[in-house]
Copies of this chain bind each other. A is one copy, B any other.
Amino acid sequence: MPALSIGDLARRTGVPVETIRYYERMGLLPKPPRTEGNYRAYETGHERRLAFVKRSRDLGFGLDAIRALLDLADGADRPCGEVDALARDQLAEVERKIADLTAMRAELQDMLGHCRADTVADCEIIGRLRGK
């Protein structure tokens, strides 16, 4: 299989070109070899690594956590307790955000459900933002 250009890699992974370059700068992806014309030339190993990063991002992991996950994934013999801990931290963070957003949703729905006025003067939404 021939080497992939950054654009090819972007199409295959769904990660924008600019973001791939950004991940390289941030040390999440190794610097690939270059062609004669100074274009990045990727192999399937790079594609696998980028796919790993993308799946981790889709689960909401931060770039620091992903760096740690990549390091752990590279050492097959290491205990996976650290992986577990990172995933549990991430789950806790996601649950915290869901709780916050659920409270916001409830309040917004309640506001909207009570809005019967025509003008701002009697508007329930504005009234509540003012603090009743």
Residues of A whose CB lies within 8 Å of any CB of B are 48, 51-52, 55-56, 58-60, 69, 72-73, 75-80, 83-84, 87-88, 90-91, 94-95, 97-98, 101-102, 104-105, 107-109, 111-112, 115, 117-123, 125-126, 128-131
- Name which residue of chain B comes closest to A69, CB basis: B129
CB distance from A121 to the nearest CB of B (A): 4
Q: Which residues of B contact A91 (CB under 8 A)?
A: 105, 108-109, 112
Which of A78, A104, A117 lies at the interface centre, i.e. has the most chain B CB atoms within 10 A of its CB? Answer: A104
Interface of A, helix, strand, loop or mixed by DSSP? helix
Choose one: B105, B117, B119, B122; the contact of A95 (CB below 8 Å). Answer: B105
State whether A73 and B126 are in contact (beta carbons under 8 Å apart), knowing that A97-B101, A119-B79 are contacts in the complex: yes
Give 13 A-B pairs besides A79-B118, A80-B119, A80-B120 with Cβ atoms closer than 8 angstroms: A48-B130, A58-B104, A60-B101, A72-B126, A73-B129, A75-B120, A79-B119, A80-B122, A84-B125, A87-B125, A91-B108, A94-B105, A97-B97
